Amino acid sequence: MSEEEINKGRNFLKTSSLMKGGRLQFESDQLKKLPAPPLQKPYPETMTLIDLIKPEDFNIGEMAFIDVINKRRSRRKFTKDLLTLEELSFLLWASQGVQYIIGGGNATWRTVPSGGARHPFETYLCLYQVEGLQAGLYRYLSIEHKLYLIREDLEKPFSINKTLVAPAPIVFIWTVIPYRTEWRYGAFSYKTIAQETGHVCQNLYLASETIGAGTCAVGAYNQELMDEYLSVDGKDEFVVYTARVGKVKQSEKSLLRMAESLHGYRSRK
């Protein structure tokens, strides 16, 4: 790496260039009184919306919190078991569910935190093994807590050599619409957005464990192929993070063996 690359990368992680004396050093579009962007990307009105199970009707997710934290692991091997619609609803709600629309309709409170409550992400799903739903690429409408099917072709972009995202019972794909955060935070947005992807995926990890499922975050996806697959422009909306999810039945020993072979680590346990 060049000195320039190192400094650029490290500076991205700092707040110092944009914050002086506890104040952000820029004039945002919000301060300029420009209209706030929509809370959610619009969707075609012709789409048939699929109802999900509402959070107040969940009968799952009741594992003791200490056990959930202790069980969390990246899981890459899934059983053939289908996930139920309730389980899928729970995972979507846990990772991006909207609880309130606040700020006169300009922001949302969700199950995860977001700088300035901007919540710049959209959730897409490749569903292979969910009870009652045909396999396909779907989008989650977090405000409505509903799904719609975008299309049925799944296999092509998930060839492991091309994207490093192998098929799984469910593949979560999060895109970012950067202006939703830029409107408020200008150039300060990018570190915030990167931090927030972790919050979203961590909730997915924890929620998965409570239903006998498991998650593996996948940062090593093919940017261009994934953007193309979702038909997003790669500028005003692009993929930022993905995760594989499925039912799991794997001993700690075999998880350790897998981690060793993946990373070249030797464990002592």
Ligand X SMILES: Cc1cc2nc3c(=O)[nH]c(=O)nc-3n(C[C@H](O)[C@H](O)[C@H](O)COP(=O)(O)O)c2cc1C
Residues forming the site for ligand X (CB under 6 A): 73-74, 76, 216-220, 259
């005003």: which residue's tokens?
Answer: 236
Nearer to ligand X, 105 or 219 (CB): 219
CB nearer ligand X, residue 28 or residue 74: 74
Closest among 172, 243, 231 to 41, alpha carbons compared: 231
CB 235 within 8 A of CB 176: no
The least distance separating ligand X from the CB of residue 164, rounded to whole angstroms, comes to: 6
Q: Which is nearer to ligand X, 193 or 218 (CB)?
A: 218
Burial of 210 (0-12, 13-18, 19+ CB in 10 A): buried
* 160 SS3 class: helix
Cα–Cα nearest to 188, from 39, 31, 34, 40: 31
Cβ proximity to ligand X, 113 vs 219, nearer residue:
219
Query: What is the distance between the alpha carbons of residues 168 and 81, in angstroms, rounded to a whole number?
Result: 11
Residue whose CB is less far from ligand X, 39 or 218: 218
Min. distance of Cβ 81 from ligand X in angstroms? 21
Report d(CA 125, CA 134) in Å as an integer.
Answer: 12
Q: How far is the CB of 151 from ligand X (least distance, A)?
A: 25
Smallest gap from residue 10 Cβ to ligand X (A)? 17
Residue position matching structure tokens 């995760």: 243
Cβ(126)–Cβ(167) below 8 Å: yes
Nearer to ligand X, 125 or 248 (CB): 248
DSSP 122: E
The minimum distance between CB 220 and ligand X, in angstroms, equals 3
The pairing of beta strand 98-102 with beta strand 50-51: unpaired
Nearest residue to the partner ligand X, using Cβ: 219
Q: How many CA atoms lie within 13 A of 182 on its CB side?
A: 8
* Under 8 Å between Cβ of 119 and 108: yes
* Nearer of residues 207 and 218 to ligand X, judged by Cβ: 218
Rounded Cα–Cα distance for residues 46 and 243 (Å): 29
- CB 73, min distance to ligand X, A: 4
Q: How far is the CB of 259 from ligand X (least distance, A)?
A: 6
